[in-house]
């Protein structure tokens, strides 16, 4: 039996042992009267090899001597954070010369961080990597400090509000600039007042948020993010805007704020002028599709969660995929973006597709034979033969679509590999409704048992253990 593990297991990289030698002199001197800080060991541990490194800000520059111990070929250049002026611009390396860009904490406090991301991106070569240290603005520690009315010691960098930011906001800025971020490591908060943490869980529940964030994101003091340059997305985003998209976007909606912050704010939908059908009060995903079919005239329907953010280039790339499908195949086509497929040789199951889910980038090739889709987003034609079973509820209905397509319609669903950001606020656990849907799915498709999904391998034993 193949057991599929989820990609969102938090990474806890060990701090490396720094060599005992005098650091090389960098261009930036430490301000008078302040001793140099040791480098961030967790950050250093996740840095990839590179030939040309551009370090922006003091803390990134401190990594140079230790990184060069492991990668002697690396040439480093350090520049200060570009605060209040263009003096940094003249010191930047030539266009396309950098293959590793490092950003110090505090970069995203710049009022024009988006502009500087674009400018620094011009210095980077195709396939370049970006690494940054991000002080988390939504930890249990910071929440406690707010309630205590600022009792942190003056000058404590861990409590400096100018350095702390919400991870989802930074991820969107990186995506907009053509980078695909992934949590490579983090500094955990080792201890937290259990009573306070329970209070935050209760508050999250009252606000309709996922309680699981208290045990994951809120316990990460510093995040170490490693991003790769999205060259295909950049090329697609540079194409002229389309007058209209070949697809309409269907969004079952229960939270207007989430809708506005994600789907409606997506540059990957604006670039193709995609029409967005907001379905309020839908009783099931199938009900949302039925509402959209009556209101939209696009050939294709992209059904997605309200917490999905589509980065630049997504709309152009999806439109090109759909334009290439012959008209006689459209009604039978079923497309997903992340799930479980079969490899090209037909020998084994594998994760397929691509999504940035909360903090983790699941980055896999697509698959021409998919057995399971995650429900984050799918594409069907307006006259599709594939119909969502209402009895599946809001969980596992996309996997049911896949298995029904194979067994009843003799159609192989496909998984595309296009990046999208699932900016979910829910917890990491599986709700009871998921278990109920799993039971129904196994009853509907006994020939496929055990059923492999991204969340779990579905068996009678799985259902029994979850209900015990």
| pLDDT (0 to 100) of residue 162 | 54
Of 229, 250, 284, the position where a domain reaches its end is 229
Question: Domain for residue 34, yes or no?
Answer: no
| Domain identity same for 96 and 209 | yes
Question: Domain for residue 33, yes or no?
Answer: no
| pLDDT (0 to 100) of residue 214 | 66
Question: Domain for residue 8, yes or no?
Answer: no
| Domain identity same for 168 and 253 | no
Of 204, 229, 254, the position where a domain reaches its end is 229
| Domain identity same for 204 and 289 | no
Q: Which of 322, 267, 269, 278 is nearest to 299 (CA)?
A: 322
| pLDDT (0 to 100) of residue 117 | 96
Question: Domain for residue 379, yes or no?
Answer: yes
| Beta strands per DSSP E along 213-348 | 220-229, 247-253, 275-280, 300-304, 308-309, 335-336, 338-342
For 280, phi then psi, to 5°, come to -95, 135
| pLDDT (0 to 100) of residue 191 | 75
Judging by DSSP bridges, how do beta strands 335-336 and 377-381 pair with one another? antiparallel
| pLDDT (0 to 100) of residue 385 | 97
Q: What is the C-alpha separation between 64 and 184, in angstroms, rounded?
A: 19
CA 355 to chain centre: 6
Q: Which of 334, 354, 338, 350 is nearest to 408 (CA)?
A: 334
| pLDDT (0 to 100) of residue 212 | 64
What's the token pair of residue 6?
């989820």
CATH number at residue 362: 3.90.550.10
Q: What is the C-alpha separation between 129 and 141, in angstroms, rounded?
A: 31
| Domain identity same for 304 and 182 | no
Question: Domain for residue 36, yes or no?
Answer: no
Q: Which helix (H) or strand (E) holds 98?
A: strand 98-103
Q: Which helix (H) or strand (E) holds 318?
A: helix 314-323
Stated length of the chain: 468
CATH number at residue 116: 3.40.50.150
Q: What is the C-alpha separation between 82 and 57, in angstroms, rounded?
A: 8
Q: Which helix (H) or strand (E) holds 289?
A: helix 285-295
| DSSP SS3 for 395 | coil
Edge to edge, the sheet with strand 275-280 lists 275-280, 247-253, 300-304, 377-381, 335-336, 414-415
| Domain identity same for 202 and 240 | no
| Domain identity same for 176 and 293 | no
Q: What is the C-alpha separation between 19 and 242, in angstroms, rounded?
A: 55
Stretches where the chain sits below pLDDT 50 are 1-36, 153-155, 157
Give me the residue label for tokens 């040791």.
38
Asked if 262 and 309 touch (Cβ cutoff 8 Å), the reply is yes
| Domain identity same for 77 and 223 | yes
* DSSP code of residue 366: -
Question: Domain for residue 318, yes or no?
Answer: yes
| Domain identity same for 239 and 118 | no
| Domain identity same for 259 and 223 | no
| Domain identity same for 287 and 424 | yes
Q: What is the CA radius of gyration of the chain?
A: 24
| pLDDT (0 to 100) of residue 30 | 41
| Domain identity same for 173 and 307 | no
Question: 307-353 pLDDT, tens per residue?
Answer: 999 999 999 999 999 999 999 999 999 999 999 999 877 789 999 99
Question: Domain for residue 27, yes or no?
Answer: no
DSSP 137-204: SS-HHHHHHHHTTS-SPTT-GGG-GGGEE-HHHHHHHHHHTTEEEEEEEEEE-----HHHHHHHHHHH
What is the number of structural domains in the chain?
A: 2
| Domain identity same for 220 and 320 | no
Q: Which range of residues forms the domain containing residue 75?
A: 41-229
Of 229, 244, 273, the position where a domain reaches its end is 229
Asked if 55 and 99 touch (Cβ cutoff 8 Å), the reply is no
Question: Domain for residue 21, yes or no?
Answer: no
Say which residues have a Cβ less than 8 Å from residue 464's Cβ, sequence separation at least 6.
none
């Amino acid at each position: 039996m193949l057991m599929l593990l989820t990609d969102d297991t938090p990474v806890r990289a060990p701090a490396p042992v720094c060599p005992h030698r005098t650091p090389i002199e960098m261009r930036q001197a430490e301000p008078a009267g302040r001793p140099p800080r040791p480098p961030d060991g967790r950050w250093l541990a996740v840095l990839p090899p590179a030939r040309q490194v551009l370090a922006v800000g003091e803390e990134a520059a401190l990594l140079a001597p230790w990184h060069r111990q492991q990668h002697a070929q690396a040439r480093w250049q350090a520049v200060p954070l570009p605060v209040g002026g263009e003096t940094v611009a003249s010191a930047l390396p030539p266009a396309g010369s950098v293959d590793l860009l490092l950003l110090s904490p505090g970069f995203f406090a710049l009022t024009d961080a988006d502009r500087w991301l674009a400018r620094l991106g011009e210095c980077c070569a195709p396939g370049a990597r970006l690494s940054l240290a991000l002080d988390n603005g939504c930890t249990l520690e910071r929440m406690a400090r707010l309630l205590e009315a600022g009792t942190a010691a003056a000058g404590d960098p861990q409590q400096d509000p100018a350095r702390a930011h919400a991870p989802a906001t930074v991820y969107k800025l990186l995506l907009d600039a053509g980078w695909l971020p992934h949590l490579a490591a983090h500094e955990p908060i080792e201890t937290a007042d259990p009573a306070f943490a329970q209070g935050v869980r209760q508050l999250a529940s009252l606000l309709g948020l996922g309680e699981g964030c208290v045990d994951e994101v809120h316990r990460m003091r510093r995040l170490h993010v490693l991003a790769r340059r999205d060259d295909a997305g950049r090329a697609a985003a540079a194409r002229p805007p389309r007058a209209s998209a070949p697809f309409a976007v269907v969004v079952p909606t229960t939270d207007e704020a989430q809708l506005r912050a994600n789907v409606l704010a997506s540059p990957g939908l604006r670039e193709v002028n995609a029409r967005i059908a907001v379905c309020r009060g839908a009783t099931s995903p199938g009900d949302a599709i039925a509402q959209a079919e009556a209101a939209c005239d696009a050939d294709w329907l992209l059904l997605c969660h309200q917490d999905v953010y589509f980065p630049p280039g997504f709309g152009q790339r999806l439109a090109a995929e759909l334009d290439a499908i012959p008209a006689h195949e459209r009604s039978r086509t079923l497309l997903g973006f992340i799930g479980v497929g079969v490899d090209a040789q037909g020998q084994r199951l594998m994760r397929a597709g691509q999504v940035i889910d909360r903090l983790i980038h699941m980055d896999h090739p697509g698959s021409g034979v998919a057995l399971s889709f995650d429900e984050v987003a799918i594409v069907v034609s307006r006259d599709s033969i594939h119909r969502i079973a209402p009895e599946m509820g809001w969980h596992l209905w996309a996997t049911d679509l896949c298995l029904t397509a194979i067994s009843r319609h003799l159609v192989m669903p496909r998984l595309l590999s296009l990046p999208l950001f699932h900016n979910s606020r829910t917890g990491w656990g599986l709700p009871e409704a998921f278990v109920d849907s799993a039971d129904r799915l196994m009853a509907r498709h006994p020939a496929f048992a055990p059923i492999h999904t991204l969340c779990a391998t579905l068996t009678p034993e799985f259902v029994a253990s979850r209900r015990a």
